[in-house]
Structures are given as C-alpha cells and as structure tokens.
Amino acid sequence: MTHPGRDISEGGLVGHIARIPLFEGLPDTYLRELAMLVVAQDLPKGHEIFSEGDEGTGFYVCLTGRVKIYKVSWEGKEQILHIFGPGEPFGEVPVFSDQPFPAHAQTLEESRVLFFPKEAFVALIRRYPDLALKMLAMFSWRLRRFTQLVEDLSLKEVPGRLAAYLLYLSDRQRGEVRLTLDITKAQLASLIGTIPETLSRALGRMARAGLIALDGANIRILDRTALSDVAETSGRI
Amino acid sequence: MTHPGRDISEGGLVGHIARIPLFEGLPDTYLRELAMLVVAQDLPKGHEIFSEGDEGTGFYVCLTGRVKIYKVSWEGKEQILHIFGPGEPFGEVPVFSDQPFPAHAQTLEESRVLFFPKEAFVALIRRYPDLALKMLAMFSWRLRRFTQLVEDLSLKEVPGRLAAYLLYLSDRQRGEVRLTLDITKAQLASLIGTIPETLSRALGRMARAGLIALDGANIRILDRTALSDVAETSGRI
DNA sequence: CGTCGACTTGAGTTAACTCAAATCATGTGG
DNA sequence: CCACATGATTTGAGTTAACTCAAGTCGACG
C-alpha cells in the first residue's frame, strides 16, 4: 500500500465528502471532522492501491476514475469481484474485522481516491449510529451482489452470465437497448468469470442468433425476451 | 416463511440470547428487551425457513441444529452458500437493505431458531452502536467468506476446492488429521460447487495418491503438505 | 431380509479451456 | 500521410475437467 500520488489540497474536500452517498445527511460537524483526517491521492492508471494480504489500516472512496477489486489465481488468471466508480467506497472489510485485505485493488484509469483511517472512522460510527446503518446497508448490497456472482459462477454457463450482465447494463441505463461497454472485453470476461476467447465466441453466437447486434464496444439488444431466457435458464443460444 | 413450529416458552430466553456471540457484552436491559420481541421456533429437519424472493421482516439466529443457505438453478442444481450452526445469525441482509432474501434457508436437521423482527432490531442498533459494530464485523466475515468462495469457484478446480475444504476442517478441529465430515457428501459437493459423482472421484484420486485415507465419513490427512499444494495451485493430483 | 438413501463407478458428451495465429484499432515517429 | 509497433479482439484446432445418464454397491434400519 504505497502512496505515490500527490496529496491534493483540502480546499473543497468537505464538499466532495458530502457528495459521497455513504456520508449523505451527515451533519456538517462530522463532515469537517472527516475532512481533517482524510488523505486524498491522485493515482495513475494501473496503480495497485492495495494487495491481498496487506494490512488494512483504513478504507477508500473513489472520487474520480474507476477501481477494480480482484483475485488472481496461481496461474495468473484474474477474477474481478467489483468495479467501483465515483462515490463508491471500497476496502472496508478490514476496518471491522482486524484481518488483511481479502483481495487486490487497482485503478483501471487515472483516478482520485480518498483514504479514511480505520480508528477515526470507527470512532465516528460510535458517535453517529446512522453512519453504521449506512455502512450496514452498503455491506448488505455487497453480500447480495456476491450471492449473485456465486450463483452465476456455479449455476450458470457463460452465455447465461453474459446475458445477465447485458440486461444489468441495460437496466442501469434506464432500459436503453443501445449499450456501450465502459470496460474492455478482457475486463468483462474477467468480471463474468471467463476468458476473452470464450466471451468473444459467446457474443458471436448471440449476434448470429439475432439476440444482439455487435459493433465494437457498442451492443444493441434486439430481443430482450430471448436474452432474459438465456440469463435465467442458462439455455443454449 | 411459515411458522409451523410451536413457540417455546420465554423461560431462559435471556440466557440463550446472552450466549449468542453477536449479543455478547450487551447490557442486561437490552437483552431483556430483545427477549420480549423475539420469537422462538422449533423446526423439523428439511423445513424451508425462507425462500429467495421472500420479504425479509427480520433475521434469525440458530440455537440448535444446523441451517443451510443456498441457491437453486433453473435445472435444480443447488449451491450451498453457508451452513450455520448454534449461535450463528442468518438472513440479516434484508434487515438493512429493504430488499427480499437473496437465497433460500432450510434446516439440515431438527433445529431451534430465534426470529428477530427487523424494526425493533434496527431501533436497538441506533441506541447501542457497539451492536452495529458487531454486526459490521459479522458482515465483514461473510464478505471475506464469499470472496473465498468466488475465488474457489472461478479460479480453482474441484480437487483444489476439496483440498481447501479439508484443510479448513482440519484447522477448525485444532489441526487434527483425523476428520469426520459433519455433513453428507452430497452436501459437501454442493458446498464446494460440484456434484456427488465428481466429489467421489476427486476423493478417490486423492486417496490413491496417498494424500488422504478414506473410511466413509472419516477422512485422515496423510500428507498435509501435498494437500496444501493441491489447494493453492489447483495442481493435478 | 428387503428397502431406501447414500455413495461409487462406468461410459459418453460437452462447455470451456489452452495454444497459436490472424485481424483490427489506435497511436507514434518519420 | 504512411509504416510500423502495441494492445485488443477474433478465429481456429485440439484437449480436458466436469457434467449427464445409467448401473451398480454399500450400509442402516424396520
């Protein structure tokens, strides 16, 4: 866990912190208190923020850019657990469990992150239980997400996971059928638990079957119903 | 989410609650308060406590017996996420997220569980932040466990997951090399994300390779080093 | 002793992997 | 503006771990 980025000035920090969903509604006093103990860092693309096994002395919030949380196998294969963007916290697990980070975190692009030291944050939670409830809601969301990931990996085949991801993307973009991948296909492969070759073939089969139209990073959903079927039944394309 | 079991009397309930790790150290006042709003249930083996998609009006704590949390695929294949025993809470995710249960819960044997209604529990947390911190620690532990499960499913092969499970069992029994499975092999298969046939063959190969000795539900670890290798490198047996 | 569930074993199939190579996209220096 | 380097993606061919289906075998219990 190195800190190579230049620390940024404190000006406007309170404003940034106030806009983080986790801290929404937090009284000004607490926000200013947080601003005093926070460390901001500007990090280049590909920077390893922490590694699995590192001691967790605090957690992070992404302000700009994107960060992936991932595991690596002995042979070097990678499984992405999450991709976090602006406003999302990460690396909170060690804050509450006195154990090292369970996975790696690395920037996907040039990013600005805030670091919150563990002890100060726990102390704040004790004085402001609503913050604890927000954190619990956050954790609940993560557990739900992992439940989904385990189901996908264990009970669905690659086309099913892919269809589920495309529908998720579409939902996130208010039901839009024209999707633009905001990650590379290699990253998408790692996110749904496969490799680029297999992903490429699965996309190809879906396109040939008329479920989607492909154009580089742009994907158009042509048959949402059929796509839902694939997602839920793991059915052959 | 039905309540077929006879509710048990309140006598000794406070004592039972006090012995639940989640509530350790909680002042007597709060314990008695909890005892007033809790519902105890005796459930037969194989009883479905809640199903995926059910509204979560509260969470549970296992007092006796065992409970599995699991997902089912469209074709009926099952993936066990957790097996909880005495003192362990489950079904807490909806308490903090206003969404339905993300998975199913079913008793593996005759069990007694306590049910804690959501609102009252959240109210208690607000008044007693240490409880929030305990719940956060619980959630951290769960997230860590899921991280491990995802890694196993995505990055390891069946022999690797099996070896990891055997070593985990051994650790849990203070490093003992003589293990006794406390679940059926079908359940173990579901827990490590495979099917009984594949598990059986994997165990057979490990035994033939001299890593373990098999005798029904009793397994003796003969070569811990080799077993660790298999667990970490997913290496061929 | 028969039956049931748990477990094992055998044979065949397949989704997804590995390895290798071709293609495409983009950006850089000349 | 071109030629090439680099990384991303696709395609092809072969291999394999793990699955399905089917048929035992084993062990406990009424």
Provide the shortest C-alpha distance from residue B133 to chain A (in Å).
Answer: 7
Q: Is the pLDDT of residue A6 over 50?
A: no
The pLDDT tens digits of the residues spanning A121-178 come to: 999 999 999 999 999 999 999 999 999 999 999 999 999 999 999 999 999 989 899 9
Q: End-to-end alpha-carbon separation of chain A, Å?
A: 44
Residue A165: CB partners within 8 Å, gap ≥ 6? A188, A191, A192
pLDDT at A129: 93
pLDDT at A4: 47
Longest Cα pair distance anywhere in chain A, in angstroms?
58
Radius of gyration (Cα) for chain B, nearest Å? Answer: 20
pLDDT under 50 in chain B at which residues?
1-9
Provide the shortest C-alpha distance from residue B237 to chain A (in Å).
Answer: 16
- Give chain D positions with protein CB within 7 A: 8-13, 17-22, 27
pLDDT at A10: 52
Answer yes or no: do B146 and A150 touch at CB < 8 A: yes
Indicate yes or no: strand D within 7 A of the C-beta of A200.
yes
Q: Mean of the pLDDT values across residues A88-96?
A: 98
The pLDDT tens digits of the residues spanning A11-46 come to: 588 999 999 999 998 999 999 999 999 999 999 999
Which nucleotide lies at the shortest CA–C1' distance from B189? C7
Q: B133 and A97 in contact (C-beta within 8 Å)? A: no
Distances (CA, A) of B235 to A78, A212, B171: 17, 39, 21
> What average pLDDT does chain A have?
93
Report the predicted TM-score, pTM, of the whole model to 2 decimal places.
Answer: 0.94
Which nucleotide lies at the shortest CA–C1' distance from B77? D19
pLDDT at B11: 57
Position with higher pLDDT, A180 vs B2 = A180
Single out the residue of B160, B116, B156 nearest to residue B22, CA to CA.
B116
pLDDT at B237: 77
For B103, which of A77, A95, A147 is closest by C-beta distance? Answer: A147
pLDDT at A234: 76
| Residues whose beta carbon sits under 7 Å from strand C | A 75, 77, 157-159, 193-195, 197-198, 202, 216, 236; B 184-186, 196-197, 199-201, 203-204, 214, 217
Distances (CA, A) of B218 to B10, B129, B214: 39, 44, 6
pLDDT at B10: 52
Q: Mean of the pLDDT values across residues A217-226?
A: 96
Q: How many CB pairs under 8 A join A and B?
A: 151
pLDDT at A236: 74
pLDDT at A104: 98
Which nucleotide lies at the shortest CA–C1' distance from B201? C8
Q: A39 and A7 in contact (C-beta within 8 Å)? A: yes
What proportion of chain A, given as a percentage, has pLDDT over 90?
Answer: 90
